[in-house]
């Protein structure tokens, strides 16, 4: 019987001794030239060649980082912008990640209600109706990101599919962008900030999704490393939620900034970095070898975070 997403995640983190999540944001303009040349030589200057180049780049990055991380996050926008061939590359990237024993978080930030939310949930996390009563998994992601702006009834259809398929989700609570203050930092009549209220709702929604094997819920939260001052407050409001922490690397946050997002057990947070890993080959300190550079960058990030946690007395292993 398959395990819950959160159980697989924690087991993978402990096995790899890594709290790093590599974000796949395959910006076509930044993919190494030789990969694009191979695709255009085979398919010509069309969208299929772009999709194939994206897929091949992702495969090479996954091959490079598979021993250093338990999970990767795919940002759907970089695939959607190229239509059918981009989404085909997304499906095949998820499949390849699973082949390499990596969990996948599909960053979709969906937020809708009723039958529309149910369709999103089935398509990304569950099974869709096919011909003659057959059901099939399509995108088959292990977890997704969700926007709670429409309220609890926009989250409930995902919770249902998550329970049925043992999948996970991360709700946007305090995001890493500076503009998040426009809404998320608004003060409510009771004195709480809006993001604090959302955090309380995430804790409530995920209450019956806590795995028996570990004290963490299938429903986590997105909390940006660029606002470390909010970390301790968020940890107390969501003690059993795993936090997906973007903002490391290219957005300016470092290892010391993420320590407070972890619980005392040294778990509870997954730190995402995208551009600083997958395009590390562009940096002066790395040669023009994208796989080698990605591997070096992710191993350095893993070491830096573990060192910071050890210094703070929160390392989850010896």
Task: Just list the catalytic residues.
Answer: 109
| Cβ 182 vs Cβ 221: under 8 Å | no
The Cα–Cα gap between 10 and 80 comes to 30
Secondary structure of the chain as H, E, C letters: CCCCHHHHHHHHHHHHCCCEEEEECCCHHHCCHHHHHHHHHHHCCCHHHHHHHHHHHHHHHHHHHCCCCCEEEEECHHHHCCHHHHHHHHHHHHHHHHHCCCEEEEEEEECCCHHHHHHHHHHHHCCEECHHHCEECCCCCCEEEECCCCCHHHHHHHHHHHHHHCCEEEEEEECCCHHHHHHHCCECCCCCEHHHHHHHHHHHHCHHHECCCCCCECEEEEECCCCHHHHHHHHHHCCCCCEEECCECCCCECHHHHHHHCCCCCCCEEEEECHHHHCHHHCCCCCCCHHHHHHHHHHHHHHHHHHHHHHCCCCCCC
CB count within 10 Å of CB 45 equals 9
| Cβ 162 vs Cβ 118: under 8 Å | no
């Amino acid at each position: 019987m398959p395990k819950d997403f959160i159980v697989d995640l924690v087991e993978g983190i402990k096995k790899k001794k890594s709290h790093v999540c590599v974000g796949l944001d395959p910006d076509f303009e930044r993919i190494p030239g030789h990969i694009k040349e191979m695709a255009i030589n085979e398919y010509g200057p069309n969208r299929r060649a772009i999709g194939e180049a994206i897929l091949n780049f992702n495969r090479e990055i996954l091959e490079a980082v598979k021993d250093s991380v338990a999970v990767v996050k795919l940002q759907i926008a970089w695939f959607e912008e190229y239509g059918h061939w981009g989404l085909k590359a997304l499906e095949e990237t998820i499949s390849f990640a699973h082949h390499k024993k990596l969990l996948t978080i599909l960053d979709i930030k969906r937020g809708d209600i009723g039958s529309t939310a149910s369709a999103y949930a089935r398509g990304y996390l569950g099974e869709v109706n096919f011909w003659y009563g057959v059901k099939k998994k399509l995108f088959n992601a292990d977890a997704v990101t969700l926007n709670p702006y429409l309220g609890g009834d926009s989250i409930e259809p995902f919770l249902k599919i998550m329970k049925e398929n043992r999948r996970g989700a991360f709700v946007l609570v305090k995001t890493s962008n500076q503009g998040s203050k426009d809404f998320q930092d608004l003060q409510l009549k009771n004195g709480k900030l809006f993001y604090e209220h959302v955090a309380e709702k995430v804790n409530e929604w995920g209450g019956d999704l806590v795995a028996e094997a570990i004290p963490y819920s299938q429903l986590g939260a997105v909390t940006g490393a660029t606002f470390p001052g909010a970390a301790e407050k968020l940890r107390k409001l969501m003690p059993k939620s795993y936090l997906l922490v973007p903002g490391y690397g290219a957005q300016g946050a470092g290892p010391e900034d993420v320590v407070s997002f972890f619980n005392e057990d040294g778990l509870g947070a997954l730190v995402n970095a995208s551009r600083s890993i997958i395009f590390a080959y562009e940096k002066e300190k790395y040669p023009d070898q994208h796989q080698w550079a990605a591997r070096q960058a992710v191993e350095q990030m893993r070491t830096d975070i573990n060192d910071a946690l050890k210094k703070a007395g929160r390392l989850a292993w010896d």
